[in-house]
Amino acid sequence: MKRNTYIDFLAYYGIGSAHPGGFTLTKQLLAQLPFKYGANVLEIGCGTGKTAAYMTREFGYKVTAVDMGWA
């Protein structure tokens, strides 16, 4: 029997990100970063990848996003 993961839970309920402050806080923090358009960014613990996709789309960052996968 497969055990549901945190990511499974988020997907089931259609939640793109779930952390303190929500995605609104994430966007506010990203807007204050001193990186230039097209900067290389490493996101560790990317979860669903929503923040990585946002950084690529809005700031042109070249994002490498990794998360631990549970097999």
pLDDT along the chain (71 residues), means of 10: 78 76 89 95 91 96 89 52
As given in the structure block, the two tokens for residue 9 are 């839970």
Q: Is the dihedral of CA 39, 43, 48, 50 positive or negative?
A: negative
pLDDT at position 36: 96
Q: Name the residue with tokens 């990511």.
A: 7
Contact (CB, 8 A) for 69 and 45: no
Give CA–CA dist 46/39, Å, rounded. 17
Cβ-count burial of 55 within 10 angstroms (0-12 exposed, 13-18 middle, 19+ buried)? buried
> What is the DSSP secondary structure assignment for residue 35, as one 8-state letter?
P
Entry pTM: 0.73
